[in-house]
A and B are shown apart, each in its own frame.
Chain A
Amino acid sequence: MTGAGFWHMGGYALYVWSAYGVTAVLLVLELVQLLRRRRAVLRRLKAMYRMGIDEA
């Protein structure tokens, strides 16, 4: 499959690309969320150690 037919998916474009699109978005979002969580945790712990309190 190549060219315009590829995106058309034999008339099933809505279904095929909704399935693949949502899957791709979720997989990427999970990775982004995990990298942000890591930064947030380290930042929170740094503040916690500096202030000598346990709020993490």
Chain B
Amino acid sequence: MTSGGGTFTRYASPAAFYPLAGRLIPWFAVPAAALALWGLYLGLVAAPTDFRQGDAYRIMFIHVPAAWMSMWLYVTMAVYAGLGLVVRTRLSSMMAAAIAPTGAMFTFIALWTGSFWGRPMWGTWWVWDARLTSELVLLFLYLGVIALAAAIDDPRRADRASGLLALVGVVNVPIIYFSVQWWNTLHQGASIKMTAAPSMGAIMLWAIVVMTLAFWMLSFVTAFLRVRCIIVERERHADWVRKLVDNRT
């Protein structure tokens, strides 16, 4: 029986979250794989060839989900970093550190796929337009957060410094999102708007939604795998970690 403190506070301790994250991983990994296969089928096979862009537009089905994840993971990382700074829960800062590399990877994927879409459609791999530049800044923010944490030996100071950078960098997320409205950009406007009916076919819409869910589920898997590594590294002086390591053959 546990008295006092709800489920959330109980799992805010690294020792309690470690096994929970381990149990949760398959519940995200299996849907991630299934959704990815479904999304690939929708985007590469079921969706018809676009009358203007030919088959090059199929890059959209990974480009848009990766770009959304790059922004969503940044906000999630910043919220955890903020909790770590304000409430001083160790697990929050560990989660922020666990999310950063995956966010950086999706940012890189968004830039890479965008480049390979821009070359045949715009005739250039890269332009310094507001959308592309702000997304590149996002990549540097992620890399800055990772590098800053790695450069400081004391974990708590590392958490504070990188957490602060993560928080400050949040201003860049709305800049990315609204850049296509605020500035005259080569990049097209939002594919799906909250306020208007989508301007694309149902299959294309579904392909984007399904791939986004696949990337999201995968992000849970990588964040949980990484946070488990971070937890045992940082809590290596705790008895429970020692027992855990000793019990493995």
Contacts and interface: CB of A to CB of B under 8 A. Distances in A.
Contacts, number: 95
A34 B49 contact: no
Contacts of B108: 26
Contact of B222 (A9, A16, A22, A30): A30
A48 B233 CA distance: 11
A19 B241 contact: no
Contact size range, A: 20 to 34
B113 A9 contact: no
B249 to A, nearest CB: 10
Contacts of B229: 34, 37-38, 41
B17 interface: no
A48 B232 CA distance: 13
Contact size range, B: 35 or more
Interface in A1-44: 1-2, 6, 9-12, 15-16, 18-20, 22-23, 26-27, 30-31, 34-35, 37-38, 41-42
Label chain A's interface by main secondary structure.
Answer: helix
B56 interface: yes
Interface of B: 44-45, 49, 54-56, 58-59, 62-63, 66, 101-102, 105, 108-109, 112-113, 116-117, 119-120, 218, 221-222, 225-226, 228-229, 232-233, 236-237, 241-242, 245-246, 248
A5 B84 CA distance: 52
Interface of A: 1-2, 6, 9-12, 15-16, 18-20, 22-23, 26-27, 30-31, 34-35, 37-38, 41-42, 45-46, 48-49, 54, 56
A34 B113 contact: no
Given A1-B49, A34-B225, A46 B245 contact: yes
A19 B117 contact: yes
